[in-house]
Structure 1
């Protein structure tokens, strides 16, 4: 899944690292996803200091705030600064955040509304036992019951630690790892259930690489992250010491050495993007023969997947290496590794000494976040992770007007029409491929606001005095949901995000674009704003998601969502030549000294951004139906459209968060999501008189025009 990401932190609190979820962005592993989105990989809801109200923000009088500009900077030298410089100078990152900007502001707005809803529920005495309303209130209460959480301290972990000690053989530990699928604990392998990319009307079980405690292999192998690796080893030792595990310092050293070997076996993030390479059919028996040294039958049996007829193995050449590493690792090290990962995952719902230690490493040391989020905000995130759609149903009833959905449908229709016209103009595509592209575009499904059918939480037990148990039951509930539908047809009505998520996404196997209610607010969408601004902002988002259907990976699925080649060989070669040129541009963008955007890693999102701006521009002019575009406050329509796109990306990030993003996330940092697309659009040069010699000027023959 590619997405805007409200739920990353939420999912991390509920789901074990072994679960590989293909079709839900908030639990998505980047190498597993078939869904692409618009936003960078940082949580949108992180703290209490920022937007305090429950009413949507406003930007100027026509949807853009000129007071946020820095007109001392030439647009061609830095369009991000030109459009947003004054606003960015005023934008202070709250101490409990790693970044702050337009997405975070709306995420906080969504959170404030949910907090008001939960406060209202908590004040009621008439909530019915077993109702979603009572479960929401109790999930929040359980997180806020600090006295009980502190009194329990590490007690909830003890059954897990005892079971880890009892798993005293390699086969026993393999079965234990299988039980962590849907439960608490770690595994060398990620496993999950998702839509089959070559048979998108059915579900399939997937397996892939896992086993790391740092964000990805680069943190173990690149000297740029050597300090983070050292901090990680100290954190491992600290956690082991807190649970009374023997030789915490020595075991921490052995655990980090083990994970370094695992990292060396892992595919790179760029390799993980290739959907052709990551679709490999196996049976469990074939995997066991190909990757000996790990008890695959015991593992899948414990995960309740022992009878599945086929698997999709993602990093197939890594699996034998990981199985061999597993077989060669002494049991004492495997047990210490499992004890650490279990404690690390459980920490947010344990006493303060555990939750604080985890925050200090994972947020402060890795991301540069000076302060922890207030507890009530973490409680809201926990409730959303457990009961997201139940909260979303009330959110929609209170905050999503029907007219917003109607206007969005019109915008989407115009964006689709614009791309259909553009496809016919491309001289690098044959008539045969154009026809297939038009068929795919015509078959897009559009979901706006909220699902037609809501998730049923009647089987999920939530108690107001049992945070740890609530998290266990929520994880099991989710896994049971996946298991129960394994043999059913794919539910095409299902959403991968909640309505209160500030995000949008494209799902390749459903060939659908999805826009949750919470993103349909300023600065993305304002029914009262100048249409040019809306076409630059939410129009750019719509175009971005449509563009994912035609990016370097999304374009590998046809209009029915089937992973297959629908291109002629010559057209595909022409397309790949264009993408290489675009990637080369992004490779030159230096985020911090020595840290560059990886054009190949961020390729899909960069193509989406380029499509969003170009198609949004054309759709706006189509919407005029031949009428002249007005000038507002001295700004032409094209200027307002490009400024609308730039305003969406107002954001400041901490250095450590940026360092993390360029090696782990598929999205370019905000500055280059503004600059990268516009410098390839001829109309931008005309709108702002961008001339040779300015920093981001490209000669006409150097501009990359894909979609």
Structure 2
């Protein structure tokens, strides 16, 4: 964040250096010696075993049964474990840095941008006064997208702005030619995590709450006939979910590698002008996609 933070680790990276220039910005009074490592003794947690279960009967419970019984998942989380702990620690550390920058009110520089953004985000009275005015231009553009071509271009613009899309794009290394990058296009268009939330029986309470959320969302932006529109959005997402691949299918890499041009993509998409979306993001029409 601040260059002075980086100076703390330079002696470790360059032990033979005999001198260094002073930092170009003042070192904060709150910055001292680096914190002690947080790494704890590690290895397989023998206390998590359940020795009352034999390995041949259920090896998973034998190795982790006591851990399962003594590690409840908090009500506000869907999982718990070492990675979740790391995420929570990182979030707290980032929050401390951001709050410190916001309190300093620097006049310029990257640190100033971080502080300004955070203060703006936390200015609830300003947000309430603005209401939905910052969203109106985007909402009106969505309302005006009455053709497939306009909707495809809107989805392309939404990749880095307001709104969503039936597709999600990502640039990665070509899976069969790692010396080059490729643009990958995958199915999207769902407001909930995946198709199971729309189709599997255990998620019926979630579906009911989501339908209510759709109506409340459209009502909040004063969309005409919000209840009917919410029902139409739900039916569209349900149709999309039915043709989404399952998680098992998405793991089959031979099925997810399908290079094609924009023209081939449009033909594959049954006439949907998918090329408008990539072109709106600045991708050339001759490029191959997967």
Quick check: TM above 0.5? yes
> Normalising by the residue count of structure 2, what TM-score does the alignment of the two structures yield?
0.74
Q: Quick one: which of 168, 176, 182 aligns to 1:190?
A: 168
1:99 aligns with 2:79: yes
- CA deviation vs aligned residue, 1:519-569 (integer Å, no higher than 9, x gap): xxxxxxxxxxxxxxxxxxxxxxxxxxxxxxxxxxxxxxxxxxxxxxxxxxx
Listed as ranges, the matches of 1:562-573 within 5 Å are: none
> Normalising by the residue count of structure 1, what TM-score does the alignment of the two structures yield?
0.33
Task: Tell me the equivalent position of 2:244.
Answer: 266
1:309 aligns with 2:286: yes
1:142 aligns with 2:120: yes
Listed as ranges, the matches of 1:602-641 within 5 Å are: none
CA contact (8 A) 1:192 1:206 kept: yes
Task: Tell me the equivalent position of 1:121.
Answer: 101
CA contact (8 A) 1:191 1:207 kept: yes
Cα distance in 2 for residues equivalent to 1:232 and 1:190: 22
SS in 2 for 1:191: strand
Q: Quick one: which of 158, 178, 190 aligns to 1:180?
A: 158
Task: Tell me the equivalent position of 2:38.
Answer: 56
Listed as ranges, the matches of 1:253-652 within 5 Å are: 253-305=231-283, 307-313=284-290
Cα distance in 2 for residues equivalent to 1:214 and 1:257: 13
Cα distance in 1 for residues equivalent to 2:269 and 2:46: 60
Residue 295 (structure 1) shift? 2.3
Which sections of structure 2, spanning at least 5 residues, go unmatched? Answer: 1-34
SS in 2 for 1:293: coil
The aligned length equals 256
Change (3 A) 1:74 1:235: same
Cα distance in 2 for residues equivalent to 1:105 and 1:310: 42
Task: Tell me the equivalent position of 1:156.
Answer: 134
- CA deviation vs aligned residue, 1:11-37 (integer Å, no higher than 9, x gap): xxxxxxxxxxxxxxxxxxxxxxxxxxx
Task: Tell me the equivalent position of 2:22.
Answer: none
Residue 104 (structure 1) shift? 1.8
Q: Quick one: which of 210, 227, 244 aligns to 1:249?
A: 227
CA contact (8 A) 2:155 2:163 kept: yes
Cα distance in 2 for residues equivalent to 1:171 and 1:243: 25
SS in 1 for 2:227: helix
SS in 2 for 1:270: helix
Structure 1 vs Structure 2 CA RMSD? 3.0
Cα distance in 2 for residues equivalent to 1:208 and 1:65: 39
Select the structure of larger CA radius of gyration: 2
CA contact (8 A) 1:233 1:256 kept: yes
CA contact (8 A) 1:55 1:109 kept: no
Cα distance in 1 for residues equivalent to 2:49 and 2:167: 48
Task: Tell me the equivalent position of 2:197.
Answer: 219
Change (3 A) 1:93 1:138: farther
Change (3 A) 1:81 1:291: closer
Cα distance in 2 for residues equivalent to 1:138 and 1:77: 59
SS in 2 for 1:203: strand
Which sections of structure 1, spanning at least 5 residues, go unmatched? Answer: 1-52, 314-707
CA contact (8 A) 1:56 1:109 kept: no
Which structure ranks higher in relative contact order (CA pairs < 8 Å, sequence separation ≥ 6)?
Answer: 1
Task: Tell me the equivalent position of 1:111.
Answer: 91
Residue 245 (structure 1) shift? 1.0
- CA deviation vs aligned residue, 1:579-633 (integer Å, no higher than 9, x gap): xxxxxxxxxxxxxxxxxxxxxxxxxxxxxxxxxxxxxxxxxxxxxxxxxxxxxxx
Task: Tell me the equivalent position of 1:522.
Answer: none
CA contact (8 A) 2:275 2:285 kept: no
